[in-house]
């Protein structure tokens, strides 16, 4: 079975990890040798959060997915690498650099290698494949586009760059609108449209506006998903009227949506066949079904690896 | 009194430190306020050793001078910063990068800032001034040129890049010749030629071939030194027939020069008025004087700050 996950940061990374565990650690070539069907996971990752700091190219969502699949991530914090030190950041501060964005010493190596390869002319998709392979990651991690795509956030204080909004101001501003700079001209990275023809396509429980919308804004992606031949499933990031992590609930509200799994289902209704909602939201199963969607009710809060694998197995069973 | 030092790495950095101490820590503006003559030190630094690693611009001689004047340098090792950690380098290695060139975490911050500013279009001289000021360095540190200049080393194994020869292969190859790539087209950085009109111009006890020759190879520098109006003094890096540090003795030999302070004096005879040689080489004072040079015999091995300041005071007294 071929599975494709559309993912943002932490929620996407956790479900990617679960799918990787559920599909088994055996590489495709080994599966083929044993005569079973190859099982392949592709994770298409948002790059609207990407930024440049200290002249280095930073891809936070890609790194969260790669670090999580490599089992190098900091589970407690939700981002970055475990056991990090911050000597370079401290020295950058001493040199007068603005260090509001925390970058660990080992994390910096990723950004240094990425920047070097991008400057040489390698596309981000090739650089990401190299980095993922260097960290022993099996699934294919693909940025949604190799072209420029930047999520800009309109707030009462004006339009902010994504990381300024999210990290610099701790997503405290009301979001009045979103702008995906470059999306109109951005082409899908090699393999992205093919990946949408998988047996199972999953929209991760990531922020619908900050993680999934910029993916869909890339030329042809929304259309390819709307007409995808496989089973299309979305997992609600809203549980009991709250986001598991981040500002999804506030943004639903300020943009005029219902702050619930039903509100999310309405956004995705034309794009998926199945909506996965949490058992705490079981009462919404009827209204979601009324949108023409199949509803799967389960415990969607993944937590650690066992919970991730369990949810992933339920998704695989939907095909 | 205005003093200009032409410097390579460690030997140049130590004498720069001595001159900074001898000229006093008071900034020029304060001296002017008190009515005394302004005393200014300019250090013109070799950039033939500069290289790019992991996409970062590395300027080893500039950094050795800046770190030493900022009292942040590792005295025992002779290069880099005190108390360094190596987490980023370790992670770069894990990502498959070639890490033969040791880069500390705090040192990397310097290279990151330099690279960012160069990419923005700032000349190396402006970047160096920013970095030196950020580290609280008073004297003016100027790269000899803002243009490309790369020292290439001809050996029995072929032509090697400088850092490959020096660090990668631990300067074990016989040096058959040197090539200063870009020197013919390189212009002196702003202030370099003016600095050669100082009351005292000193050639540091740096490697004559690897540190001083690339400086002199930049357009107009050798001519400006040959006709400089102030007192011109060279300090021999060879003491008792040996180099205090590095491969200067071997290179003198393979290039057909006498391995002694006299051999060095012959190289510099047309460029300086005074040759400073070590008391262990007092017997060479006559032959050096026969070249038409004034000879000053003293203890040239500086060691720590007191020895540096003592030698610097003797140089100032030569004016």
Mean pLDDT of the residues in chain B: 94
Position of tokens 């589970």? A75
**Residue A259 DSSP class:** S
| Segment (H or E) for A33 | helix A28-33
Which of the residue ranges A291-305, B24-38, B182-196 would you say has the lowest mean pLDDT?
B24-38
**Given A55, A120, A135, which is nearest B112 (Cβ)?**
A55
Taking the C-alpha atoms of residue B16 and residue A313, their distance in angstroms, rounded to an integer, is 67
pLDDT digits (tens, 9 = 90+) for A65-92: 999 999 999 988 888 999 999 999 999 9
* Closest chain A residue by Cα to residue B93: A109
Chain A: closest CA distance from residue B113 (Å): 6
Sign of CA dihedral B163, B308, B259, B78: negative
* Backbone phi and psi for residue B227, each to the nearest 5 degrees, phi listed first: -115, 15
Chain B: closest CA distance from residue A46 (Å): 23
Q: Is residue A87 part of a domain?
A: no
A135 CB burial (10 A radius; 0-12, 13-18, 19+)? middle
Q: In sequence order, which residues have a C-beta less than 8 Å from that of residue B159 and are 6 or more positions away? A: B152, B153, B179
Which of the residue ranges A243-252, B55-64, B258-267 would you say has the lowest mean pLDDT?
A243-252
A263 CB burial (10 A radius; 0-12, 13-18, 19+)? buried
C-beta atoms of A91 and B85 within 8 A: no
Which 3 state secondary structure label does DSSP give A308?
Answer: helix
* CATH at B45: 3.40.50.10680
Position of tokens 């596309």? A123
Q: In sequence order, which residues have a C-beta less than 8 Å from that of residue A262 and are 6 or more positions away? A: A281, A284, A287, A288
Count A/B contacts: CB-CB distance under 8 Å: 96
pLDDT the model gives residue A25? 52
Q: Is residue B167 part of a domain?
A: yes
Q: Is residue B40 part of a domain?
A: yes
**8 A C-beta contact, residue A210 and residue A8:** yes
Chain B: closest CA distance from residue A295 (Å): 43
C-beta atoms of B96 and A134 within 8 A: yes
The residue among A83, A40, A55 whose CA lies nearest residue B127 is A55
pLDDT at B19 over 80: yes
* Closest chain A residue by Cα to residue B113: A54
Contacts of B108 in chain A (CB under 8 A): 88, 91, 108
Q: Can you give the residue range of the structural domain that contains B289? A: 2-52+60-71+127-316
The residue among B187, B175, B110, B173 whose CA lies nearest residue B145 is B187
pLDDT at B39 over 60: yes
Taking the C-alpha atoms of residue A189 and residue A151, their distance in angstroms, rounded to an integer, is 18
C-beta atoms of A113 and B92 within 8 A: yes
C-beta atoms of B105 and A116 within 8 A: no
Chain A: closest CA distance from residue B19 (Å): 25
Q: Is residue A26 part of a domain?
A: yes
pLDDT the model gives residue A171? 94
Query: Residue B79 — pLDDT band, cuts 50, 70, 90?
Result: confident
ipTM, two decimals:
0.91
Chain A: closest CA distance from residue B54 (Å): 6
C-beta atoms of A54 and B110 within 8 A: no
pLDDT digits (tens, 9 = 90+) for A91-107: 999 999 999 999 999 99
pLDDT at A282 over 60: yes
Helix H, strand E, coil C: the string for chain B is: CEEEEEECCHHHHHHHHHHHHHCCCCCHHHHHHCCCCCCEEEEEECCCCCEEECCEEECHHHHHHHHHHCCCECCCCCCCECCCCCHHHHHHHHCCCCCCCCCCHHHHHHHHHHHHHHHCCCCHHHHHHHHHHHCCCCCEEEECECCCCEEEEEECCEEEEHHHHHHHCCCCCCCCEEEEECHHHCCECCCHHHHCCCCEEEECCCCHHHHHHHHHHCCCHHHHHHCCCCEEEEECCEECCEECCCCHHHHHHHCCCCCCHHHHHHHHCCCCCEEEEEHHHHHHHHHHHCCCCEEEEECCCCCCHHHHHHHHHHHHCCC
Kindly state the average pLDDT of the residues B8-14: 92
pLDDT the model gives residue A32? 42
Kindly state the average pLDDT of the residues A7-21: 95
C-beta atoms of B108 and A116 within 8 A: no
**Given A56, A95, A109, which is nearest B134 (Cβ)?**
A95
List, in sequence order, the alpha helices (H) in A95-241. Answer: 105-119, 124-134, 162-163, 192-195, 213-217, 221-226
* Closest chain A residue by Cα to residue B128: A95
Contacts of A96 in chain B (CB under 8 A): 134
pLDDT at B61 over 50: yes
pLDDT at A261 over 50: yes
Contacts of A120 in chain B (CB under 8 A): 55
Taking the C-alpha atoms of residue A269 and residue A293, their distance in angstroms, rounded to an integer, is 7
pLDDT digits (tens, 9 = 90+) for A18-66: 999 999 854 444 444 444 445 699 999 999 999 999 999 999 999 999 9
**Taking phi first (over 0 means left), then psi (-120 to 50 degrees means alpha), and beta for anything else, what does residue B81 get?**
beta
The residue among B243, B251, B315 whose CA lies nearest residue B261 is B243
C-beta atoms of A116 and B88 within 8 A: no
C-beta atoms of B105 and A85 within 8 A: yes
pLDDT digits (tens, 9 = 90+) for A139-151: 999 999 999 999 9
* Backbone phi and psi for residue B303, each to the nearest 5 degrees, phi listed first: 60, -130
Contacts of B87 in chain A (CB under 8 A): 84-85, 87, 104-106
C-beta atoms of B119 and A55 within 8 A: yes
Position of tokens 């592709």? A42
pLDDT the model gives residue A275? 98
**8 A C-beta contact, residue B255 and residue B209:** yes
Contacts of B84 in chain A (CB under 8 A): 87
Taking the C-alpha atoms of residue B159 and residue B176, their distance in angstroms, rounded to an integer, is 9
Q: Is residue A80 part of a domain?
A: no
C-beta atoms of A87 and B105 within 8 A: yes
Q: Is residue A113 part of a domain?
A: no
* Closest chain B residue by Cα to residue A106: B88
* Closest chain A residue by Cα to residue B134: A95
Q: Is residue A78 part of a domain?
A: no
Compute CA A158 distance to the chain's CA centroid, rounded to the nearest angstrom: 26
C-beta atoms of A112 and B88 within 8 A: yes
Taking the C-alpha atoms of residue A284 and residue A56, their distance in angstroms, rounded to an integer, is 45
**Residue A230 DSSP class:** S
pLDDT digits (tens, 9 = 90+) for B215-264: 999 999 999 999 999 999 999 999 999 998 889 999 999 999 999 999 99
Contacts of B119 in chain A (CB under 8 A): 55
Interface residues from chain A to B (CB-CB < 8 Å): 54-56, 84-85, 87-92, 94-97, 104-110, 112-113, 115-117, 119-120, 131, 134-135
C-beta atoms of B87 and A91 within 8 A: no
Position of tokens 């047996």? A199
* Backbone phi and psi for residue B32, each to the nearest 5 degrees, phi listed first: -65, -40
Query: Residue B25 — pLDDT band, cuts 50, 70, 90?
Result: low
Helix B60-69 × helix B124-134 angle, to 10°: 30
Give the total number of structural domains in chain A: 1
Length in residues, chain B: 319
Kindly state the average pLDDT of the residues A150-167: 95
Taking the C-alpha atoms of residue B291 and residue A74, their distance in angstroms, rounded to an integer, is 68
Sign of CA dihedral B225, B314, B316, B10: positive
The neighbouring-strand residues paired with A231 are A200
pLDDT digits (tens, 9 = 90+) for B129-184: 999 999 999 999 999 999 999 999 999 999 999 999 999 999 999 999 999 999 99
Query: Residue B77 — pLDDT band, cuts 50, 70, 90?
Result: confident
Q: Is residue B28 part of a domain?
A: yes
Chain B: closest CA distance from residue A102 (Å): 14
* Closest chain A residue by Cα to residue B117: A55
Contacts of A67 in chain B (CB under 8 A): none
Taking the C-alpha atoms of residue B79 and residue A115, their distance in angstroms, rounded to an integer, is 26
Taking the C-alpha atoms of residue B196 and residue A63, their distance in angstroms, rounded to an integer, is 51
C-beta atoms of A95 and B135 within 8 A: yes
pLDDT digits (tens, 9 = 90+) for A194-240: 999 999 999 999 999 999 999 999 999 999 999 999 999 999 999 99
Chain B: closest CA distance from residue A110 (Å): 7
Kindly state the average pLDDT of the residues B67-91: 94
């Amino acid at each position: 079975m071929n599975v494709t996950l559309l993912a943002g940061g932490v929620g996407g990374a956790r479900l990617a990890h679960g799918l990787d565990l559920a599909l088994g650690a055996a590489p495709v070539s080994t599966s083929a040798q044993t005569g079973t069907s190859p099982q392949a996971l592709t994770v298409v990752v948002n790059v609207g959060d990407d930024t440049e700091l200290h002249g280095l190219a930073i891809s936070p969502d890609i790194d969260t997915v790669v670090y999580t699949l490599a089992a190098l991530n900091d589970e407690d914090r939700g981002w970055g690498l475990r056991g990090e030190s911050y000597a370079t950041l401290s020295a950058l501060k001493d040199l007068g650099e603005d260090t509001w964005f925390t970058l660990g010493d080992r994390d910096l190596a990723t950004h240094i290698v990425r920047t070097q390869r991008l400057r040489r002319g390698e596309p981000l998709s090739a650089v990401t494949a190299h980095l993922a392979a260097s960290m022993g990651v099996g699934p294919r991690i693909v940025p949604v586009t190799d072209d420029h795509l930047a999520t800009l956030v309109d707030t009462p204080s004006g339009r902010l760059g994504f990381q300024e909004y999210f990290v610099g101001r701790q997503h405290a501003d009301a979001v009045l609108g979103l702008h995906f700079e470059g999306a109109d001209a951005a082409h899908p990275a090699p393999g992205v449209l093919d990946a949408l023809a998988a047996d199972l396509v999953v929209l991760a429980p990531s922020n619908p506006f900050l993680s999934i919308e910029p993916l869909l804004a890339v030329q042809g992606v929304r259309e390819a998903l709307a007409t995808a031949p496989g089973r299309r499933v979305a997992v609600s990031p809203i549980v009991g009227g709250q986001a598991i992590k981040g500002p999804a609930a506030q943004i639903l509200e300020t943009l005029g949506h219902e702050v619930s799994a039903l509100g999310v289902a309405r956004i995705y209704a034309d794009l998926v066949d199945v909506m996965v909602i949490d058992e705490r939201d079981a009462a919404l199963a009827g209204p979601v079904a009324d949108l023409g969607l199949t509803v799967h009710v389960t415990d969607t809060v993944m937590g650690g690896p066992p919970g991730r694998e369990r949810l992933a197995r339920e998704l695989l069973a939907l095909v």
